[in-house]
Chain A
Amino acid sequence: MRLDIRLPLGLLFSIFGVLLIVFGMASNKALYERSLNVNINLWWGLVMLVFGLALFALGARSHRRLAKTAGSSDALSLGKSATENK
């Protein structure tokens, strides 16, 4: 895989998580009547942030490991060797 999907995916979920957490903390309690008085923005934002960061970390780790083992700056061959080393 030439661009580890976990990087953009983790980033997107982290951004969504932060947005929801900030909005959840700032918003009025009355807003949450429809969600059974659960501050769903805050809680789900936290879940999404944790998930997003975890994915991003995994993606970044394998990206670094690849860069080390391949020792080549050519992104194309880097991606190829990554997926075929089994």
Chain B
Amino acid sequence: MLTAIDWIIMIVYFIFVLGIGVALKRYTRTSTDFFLAGRSIPAWVCGLAFISANLGAQEVIGMAASGAKYGIATSHFYWIGAIPAMVFVGVFMMPFYYGSRARSVPEYLRLRFDEKTRAFNAISFATMTVFSSGISMYAMAKLTQTLHVFDAPVRQLGLPLSWLFHAGILISAVVVLAYIFLGGLSSAIYNEVIQFFLIVAGFLPLVWLGLRNVGGWAGLKTKLDAGYTHSWIGMGSAHTNRLGVEWFGLAMGLGFVLSFGYWCTDFLVVQRAMAADSMSAARRTPLIAAFPKMLFPFLVILPGLIAIALPTQGSTTVAAAHGSAVAVPQGSGLIPVKVDPGTGGPIRDKQGHVQLDYDLAMPNMLLHYFPTGILGLGLTALLASFMSGMAGNVTAFNTVWTYDIYQSYINRKASDEHYLWMGRMATVFGIGLSIAAAYMANRFNNIMDMLQLVFAFVNAPLFATFLLGMFWKRTTGHGAFSGLLAGTASAALHHSITLPAGAESGIKGGWLAVVHTYPSEMAQNFWTAIFAWTACFVMTILVSLLTRPRDPSQLKGLVYSLTERPQTHDLPWYQRPGILAVIALAIAVLLNIIFM
């Protein structure tokens, strides 16, 4: 299916990726260069890297899948679940992250609170990044196998097809390792920007062709029922919309707790802003990112909607490519039925309905519309998104490991050169661990599900800690630490006594007892987050009031009321965070109204 031109495009891309690492190596002389890109990157580059770091495979594949499954309501993950938080971190929180000269988010916690709060955050975060990068690698290797487009060269070499999985992991690991090892964070950021433009270049023509095919947005509306093309229809109750969540759970759980918890506290994205060349550039980073971010639904969700709206065609689906003797029922549109790799038959749920493999929405759209040539570009965009998802995690990992774990607890007084060396070593063993995680995900799917669940418990309450820490000077280290523990514990507790409808007790919840049943897994997740956040918020306040506060003079630059506001009136209007924030929010509201 692929011809020489597709391979040439992919190879040119790989040469560029590595070339950038080589070109940046000579600027990487100190640990600040390696971990913070020398704090020398202009705002627009940081802004694009800011969204790109989050634009891993999970986003591109997952959002198209959700588009096919839930419809345009998936845009809530952008217009509710990202924009407000991105605006908040830029306007209100960046002055403390950048202004405190902390080199990482855990280090901010050390400055604001104490050692144990930092250690808790640093260790859980470092573990999480390694596993996320492993999962990204696993997903990529799996996809190259499922798509069958890379089969030909493997067959020619006389190797079994399972070898593709190993090759996928090995190649992505070596490439990411090489460019981060050489150029550190600058290298990662440059590649993230390239990847951002590649994703746009790869998917924009896809959306254009797809929309042209179905008769535009109006044509899509006539082909799908209203629940697919209206994002707010039936949101009054969890039982009347496709997501299975009511508006309050959505706004609080996704729009507030989860989204602010991610965009405002996750070092993976915040690191991109910390690399900016000035305070005003750091504050603008998430605001600049907000504009392309709110247009991304058209790039990644629309293909999912188009895929489900097209006439069902059995012959082009990937499921049919196995050529197994078992009769596989037809999917829907371009979405094939999920096939059990063991039996070759379709996977059914408890009610006996066949399940659709929504994750193939985006890849199948590419294969459906793109002839050879631009297909190479589309696949390159897909590969790029997998790799930058990995690279983002690896750069966050090597920084937190070196500054917050190694320098803090293992070797305090080494030379800067030594820490730079350690950063490079951390990149090597971080990627080594990711490979192990990728193989673990392949062998023991349940362990990975369980780990992700534990990470969700640890992350859910984080934003309460930062909010109180930054805006209430009375908050103490003991308060923050006990709040985090209480939040994590209550997330686990809530999960253990609730269950989504139709699921069995176990990894999905209800492992202690089933007190409440949610209409969907999403609703359960959102409410777990709401409970965790509230528990952390209350506990932090209570314990803070009972413990001795720190001297306000030590909190300068770390807490809102004790920090001078950064001056912005000498900047032109398009560089002022406040004005950008208002414009971003206004457009987000407008988009919600248009697609209501």
Contact = CB atoms under 8 A, between A and B. Distances in A.
A40 B40 contact: no
B193 interface: yes
Interface string A5-49: 100110111011001100110010001101110101100100010
A83 to B, nearest CB: 4
A73 B410 CA distance: 40
Could you tell me the dominant secondary structure of chain B's interface residues? helix
Contacts of A2: 24, 27, 38, 40, 186
Interface in A36-75: 36, 38, 40-41, 44, 48, 75
Contacts of B226: none
Given A1-B45, A76-B27, A8 B194 contact: yes
B16 A1 contact: no
Contacts of B60: none
Given A3-B23, A5-B193, A13-B201, A40 B370 contact: yes
Nearest to A38: B209
Interface stretch (B5-13, B230-238, B318-326, B507-515): B5-13
Contacts, number: 97
Contacts of A8: 16, 19-20, 23, 190, 194
A5 B371 contact: no
B374 A41 contact: yes
Given A5-B45, A76-B27, A48 B201 contact: yes
A26 to B, nearest CB: 9
Nearest to A2: B27
Contacts of B373: 20, 23-24, 27, 31, 40-41
Contact of B278 (A23, A34, A35, A84): A84
A5 B8 CA distance: 22
Contacts of B277: 1, 83-84
A19 B8 contact: yes
Point out which of B12, B213, B277 has the most chain A C-beta atoms below 10 A from its C-beta: B277
B274 to A, nearest CB: 15
Contacts of B197: 9, 13
Contacts of B369: 34-36
Contact of B40 (A5, A13, A80): A80
* Top 3 closest pairs, chain A to chain B, by CB: A41-B373, A83-B277, A2-B27
Given A12-B12, A12-B16, A12-B194, 18 more contacts: A1-B41, A1-B42, A1-B45, A2-B38, A2-B186, A3-B23, A5-B194, A8-B16, A16-B12, A23-B373, A34-B369, A34-B371, A36-B209, A36-B369, A40-B209, A79-B40, A83-B41, A84-B278
